[in-house]
Amino acid sequence: MKICRFDDNRLGVVRDGMVYDVTPALKKLPAAGYPLPGHDPLIAALPKLKKYLVAKGKGKPVSKVKLLSPVANPGKIIAAPVNYTKHLQEALADKGIHHGNLVHEIHKVGMFLKATSALVGPGEGVKLIHTDRRNDHEVELAVVIGKKAKNVKAEKALDHVAGYCIGLDMTIRGPEERSLRKSPDSYCVLGPWLVTRDEIEDPGNLSVKIEVNGEVKQDAHTSDLILSVAQLIEWGSSFYTLHPGDVLLTGTPQGVGPVKPGDVMVASVQGIGEMRVAVK
Ligand code: MN
């Protein structure tokens, strides 16, 4: 199943290029009081909600809606920094990427967090800041956690996944900590929808691609991930509890490069679809 959020916080099911409005299903969510839950209530309730998420009635073409992030309230956005060998090599070779920082593969660096306030959907676009500096696209397979995970072993890790999205880990290059350079408003794009786990047989066997203004920039495959999705969940959950709605960006492959206002990015991941994101 493909689940999206669109327009004015509507909930939709996507089928054959059409969005079907299933917003009334949100009434089935448990009432939230203060303090709000530390997880995303929709993602936590998905298994129970599925029977209400039925594509019927008159749909709207995907191209006619404004797609928002399929996860509205993730508790955290975890990201893998250097999880493809060829991206490590390009980062080491290009001062415009490494800025004198020591770049190591993920085993040495661990993971980092992006601010949840950075999150947008493809229909909202990316608003660049510090445009005098290099602002790069990083296309990644994004994993949405569906079930609380703490000290989960890799063999069981995928049981804790709700589904998958395309993620853009937008990045200002420079000497500061990653969490600062990667967390401005709109620097985390998630979309175009969440594809439930049952539709992706193996997250380690997907092509990942991005075009900027029609030119292919990154074209890779998740079989080249240094740490697999399951291993990332094992490692991440050994540090912090993963909650429903937490987003895990699995790292970008080689081919990162700058974008500028006016550019259009089209990102795709096999089995998920593609999303068009304007740079402003
Ligand atoms: Mn990244």
For ligand 1, the distance from its centroid to the CA atom of residue 71, given in whole angstroms, is 19
Query: Cis peptide leading into 41, omega within 30 of 0?
Result: no
- Please list the pLDDT of the chain residue by residue as tens digits (280 residues): 999 999 999 999 999 999 999 999 999 999 989 999 999 999 999 999 999 999 999 999 999 999 999 999 999 999 999 899 888 888 888 888 888 887 787 888 889 999 999 999 999 999 999 999 999 999 999 999 999 999 999 999 999 999 999 999 999 999 999 999 999 999 999 999 999 999 999 999 999 999 999 999 999 999 999 999 999 999 999 999 999 999 999 999 999 999 999 999 999 999 999 999 999 9
For ligand 1, the distance from its centroid to the CA atom of residue 157, given in whole angstroms, is 21
For ligand 1, the distance from its centroid to the CA atom of residue 204, given in whole angstroms, is 17
Same topology between domain 2-68 and domain 77-278 = no
Flag whether the pTM goes above 0.75: yes
Q: Spell out the CATH class of 2-68.
A: mainly beta
Topology of domain 77-278, CATH: Fumarylacetoacetate hydrolase; domain 2 (3.90.850)
What gap in Å lies between CA 39 and CA 4, rounded to an integer?
18
| H/E segment holding residue 90 | helix 85-93
Distance of CA 103 to the CA centre of its chain: 23
For ligand 1, the distance from its centroid to the CA atom of residue 138, given in whole angstroms, is 6
Domain residue limits, the chain: 2-68, 77-278
For ligand 1, the distance from its centroid to the CA atom of residue 218, given in whole angstroms, is 13
